Chains A and B, each alone.
Chain A
Amino acid sequence: MTKAIYALYDDDEVMVDGAKAILAKNVRIKDVYSPFPIHGLENVLGIKWTRLAINAFLYGLTALCLALFGMSFFMIQDWPMNIGGKPNFDLYQNLPAFIPITFEFTVLCAAHGMAITYLIRNWTLPGVKARNPHPRTTDDHFAIEINWEENSGVSSDDIKSILQDTKPVEIFEK
């Protein structure tokens, strides 16, 4: 017994219409594979929007505090330096000179933290095997994946005929 059945389409609009028709028949869609992002698809499939941006904000906030703490420790606590007689004995007076590095460090950590979270969350890392069902889903084809287990209430023949009605170019099991 195969794990899932796939319908392959050669146009994104046909695929989106197909997905709507499939969902209307109470068949659950496991996933959709496409060569580019399709806007509005998340509403059709009912996928929640990602929380990656919140992550980035938290990484940035951490970096901001760390940079300010670090610089006030290095420059004010640990080894205060008198540079051209400029005020340097508390953070408040030194703050303008600390802004550039605080900013850069915030961006550095927010961007890299978010990128690393993104790669791990997607499980796209060097050496990971690709899991797309058909090689052309990264070229010009779009695939809808339907898991047998998730749809135990509908017979496999019914699913096949529902898929057939959505005008796919190919239906295959894997």
Chain B
Amino acid sequence: MQKESAIREPLILGDKTYHQITEDVCAPVEGKANKYWYIVFTIAVVVALWGVGCILYTIGRGIGTWGLNTTVAWAWDITNFVWWVGIGHAGTLISAVLLLFRQKWRMAINRSAEAMTIFAVMMAALFPGIHMGRIWMAYWVFPLPNQFGSLWVNFNSPLLWDVFAISTYFSVSLVFWYIGLIPDFATIRDRAVKPVSKMAYSILSFGWTGNAKAWIRFEEVSLVLAGLATPLVFSVHSIVSMDFATSVIPGWHTTIFPPYFVAGAIFSGFAMVQTLLLIARKVLNLESYITIKHCEYMNIVIVITGSMVGVAYLSELFISWYSGVEYEGYAFMNRATGPFWWAYWSMMSCNVIIPQLFWFKKIRRSLIASFVLSIFVNIGMWFERFVIIVTSLHRDYIPSNWGMFHPTFVDIGIFVGTIGIFFVLFLLYSRFFPVLALNELKSILKSSGDNYKKLHHND
């Protein structure tokens, strides 16, 4: 059996056994939800319904209901799209990249992070869909035979690359997540007492048996899917950034975009995982599994990627001056001092300055500070996309074309609504799905569990 250094902090606290892990993780699924769950769920449903209403209004009346104009033809919709896709990046990064690096701390957070990924990508995909205006023709983005029109889709366009990237990312993440869930659904199935839940989890667990060969295949599939998903994580946000970078708009036309977007995506994704899990560990009594050490690890990722984003901002500023292109130079001056200066400085302070507090160990290990800072990052990353998109578009080449963007209630309603839909999905997930990867946690109990580590230390 693998032994771990005694000075490494345990990943599972308390006197846990295999059975206790099952009990702790199944408790939220088998028990009744408390009143806080119902309160939050009700709020989320109301907000979600408001968003659905705004979406239906948009579909019925057209995108003239948004604040877009001929100068700023992309604004909140694409900001929200990039924001949600970025959030979606942490899940696959945690489950795939950290699996390849054999990071055991991922096991307590990967299930929820992947669920977050899937729900976030669903929210993201909604925006290009409704921005088409005629959403019932959305399938035209796929390369369909010519009876739908005499042209094929344009395979040279980053927008089509994005269609492929997002749909591949969504479906591969979903499969990766579900394959990990099958054995854990089987655990719930074998414990279920009520006939309805027994039947439901029997179907969900696909008749999982857990024999030796099945586990070998399981490990191989996990490893290969992780290997396939890792370049996918980096490609998806690179391609999203190319939606902008391949254009000729000042402020967009830069080669730094792909790595800068990927770092930003990981940054915002980890912040959202932090926000969700700090609540989940408390509400679902999972403090022994999602420990302060886990939060610290995530905070380290946040401060590193946040600093990378900071370096990217400064490089952009430097290059806009050093290139000598007056349009580029103006675009960045306008970001910092123009009519949207407040968005730029919100972005700078939330993304670059505030996360630097995580260099202090005390703050990194404080749950309240982690929560507050993660909210700042979520806000800051939304502003980053808003700044990139709106401030670059609203004043480009000819001053007579300049304009402003003001969101309407529909813009705001749809954005807030997607947060509602996201939370509805996540709250339902936390009630009916095992929120921790049971089988993976059990496999590290003897090497990283608190009680076992003490036992080995005394040997």
Contact = CB atoms under 8 A, between A and B. Distances in A.
Interface of A: 13, 31-38, 41-42, 45, 47, 49-50, 52-53, 56, 60, 70-71, 74-75, 78-79, 81, 83, 86, 88, 94, 97-98, 100-101, 103-105, 107-108, 110-112, 114-115, 118-119, 121-132, 135-140
Scoring B151, B156, B208, B438 by chain A CB atoms within 10 A of each residue's CB, the highest score goes to B156
A37 B386 CA distance: 46
Interface string B224-256: 110011011001000100100000000000000
Contacts of A79: 150-152
Interface of B: 1, 17-19, 22, 143, 146, 150-158, 160-161, 164-165, 167-168, 171-172, 175-176, 179, 182-183, 186-187, 189-191, 202-203, 205-221, 223-225, 228-229, 231-232, 235, 239, 242, 438-440, 442-443
B208 A124 contact: yes
Given A83-B154, A138-B186, A123 B212 contact: no
B213 to A, nearest CB: 6
A120 to B, nearest CB: 11
Contact of B212 (A42, A111, A126): A42
Contact of B216 (A50, A105, A123): A50
A100 B236 CA distance: 9
Given A124-B209, A138-B190, 14 more contacts: A13-B1, A33-B209, A35-B210, A35-B442, A52-B217, A81-B156, A100-B161, A108-B167, A111-B228, A118-B217, A126-B203, A126-B206, A130-B209, A137-B210
A104 B164 contact: yes
B228 A110 contact: yes
Contact of A101 (B155, B203, B212, B232): B155
Given A83-B156, A115-B179, A104 B217 contact: no
A32 B438 CA distance: 19
Give the secondary structure class of A's interface.
Answer: helix
Contacts of B146: 78
B224 A114 contact: yes
Contacts of A34: 210, 212, 215
A118 B189 CA distance: 21
Given A41-B212, A86-B156, A130-B189, A35 B18 contact: yes
B212 A118 contact: no
Given A105-B164, A108-B168, A135-B190, A128 B207 contact: yes
A36 B439 contact: yes
A53 B155 contact: no
B215 A38 contact: yes
Given A35-B442, A115-B179, A127-B203, A139 B18 contact: yes
A56 B160 CA distance: 25
A57 to B, nearest CB: 9
6 contacts: A35-B438, A53-B224, A112-B175, A129-B207, A132-B211, A140-B19
Contacts of B203: 126-127
B231 to A, nearest CB: 7
Given A88-B156, A100-B161, A108-B168, A139 B22 contact: yes
B61 to A, nearest CB: 33
Contacts of B232: 104, 107
B112 to A, nearest CB: 19
Contacts of A86: 156
Nearest to B192: A135
A130 B150 contact: no
B209 A135 contact: no
Nearest to B26: A139
A131 B209 contact: yes
B429 to A, nearest CB: 19
Contacts of A126: 203, 206
Contacts of B211: 31-33, 131-132
A75 B155 contact: yes
Nearest to A101: B164
Given A122-B214, A140-B22, A52 B191 contact: no
Contacts of B172: 107-108, 111-112
A33 B210 contact: yes
A74 B443 contact: no
Contacts of A110: 224, 228
Contacts of A103: 231, 235
A100 B224 contact: no
Given A104-B161, A107-B172, A138 B210 contact: yes
B228 A130 contact: no
A79 B153 CA distance: 10
B164 A56 contact: no
B189 A104 contact: no
Nearest to B183: A138
A118 B221 contact: yes
Scoring B22, B150, B213, B218 by chain A CB atoms within 10 A of each residue's CB, the highest score goes to B213
